[in-house]
């Protein structure tokens, strides 16, 4: 059941919104690495080690760790950085216009997924204690 639900989430992210490629990349990154939002937002192009398929994650509590990723995810992260003009020590994850994403991207993503998947909406409402529907 969990595999089916993850597939549903990925399908909605990949087929809705203003930047499905970004949203799919975010979900893939979190699925493979179990990193926190802060770790994803802190990721920089210089944190990618494509030869060893490792990314350097800097997360809560000053935790720093090298995390293995699939060659596919590594290629997508590198392509994303190049296509969206993320350089060196700048934030890797960016909108199409080159601006770095923020925590708000995640908020909007999960609200949108909840609009398409009732069970996500219910989980989000229970966890946050609020109704996020418009």
Q: Which domain holds residue 22?
A: 2-124
The reported pLDDT for the residue numbered 132 is 47
Report if residue 34 sits inside a domain: yes
- CATH number where 103 lies: 1.10.443.10
Which pLDDT tens digit goes with each residue over 10-36?
A: 999 999 999 999 999 999 999 999 999
Which pLDDT tens digit goes with each residue over 53-96?
A: 999 999 999 999 999 999 999 999 999 999 999 999 999 999 99
Q: What is the mean pLDDT of residues 91-104?
A: 97
Report if residue 133 sits inside a domain: no
Report if residue 94 sits inside a domain: yes
Model confidence band, residue 122 (pLDDT cutoffs 50, 70, 90): confident
Report if residue 131 sits inside a domain: no
Report if residue 130 sits inside a domain: no
Report if residue 41 sits inside a domain: yes
Model confidence band, residue 134 (pLDDT cutoffs 50, 70, 90): very low
**What is the tally of structural domains in the chain?**
1
Cβ atoms 100, 87 nearer than 8 A: no
Report if residue 45 sits inside a domain: yes
Which of 98, 66, 106 has the alpha carbon at shortest distance from 82?
Answer: 98
């Amino acid at each position: 059941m969990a595999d089916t639900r993850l597939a549903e989430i990925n399908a909605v992210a990949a087929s809705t919104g203003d930047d499905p490629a970004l949203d799919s990349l975010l979900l893939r990154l979190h699925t493979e690495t179990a990193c926190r939002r802060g770790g994803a937002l802190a990721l920089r192009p210089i944190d990618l080690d494509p030869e060893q398929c490792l990314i350097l994650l800097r997360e809560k509590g000053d935790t720093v760790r090298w995390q293995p990723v699939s060659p596919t995810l590594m290629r997508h992260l590198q392509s994303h950085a190049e296509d969206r003009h993320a350089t060196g020590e700048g934030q890797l994850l960016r909108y199409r216009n080159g601006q770095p994403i923020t925590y708000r991207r995640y908020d909007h993503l999960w609200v949108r997924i909840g609009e398409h998947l009732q069970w996500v909406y219910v989980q989000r409402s229970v966890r946050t204690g609020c109704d996020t529907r418009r």
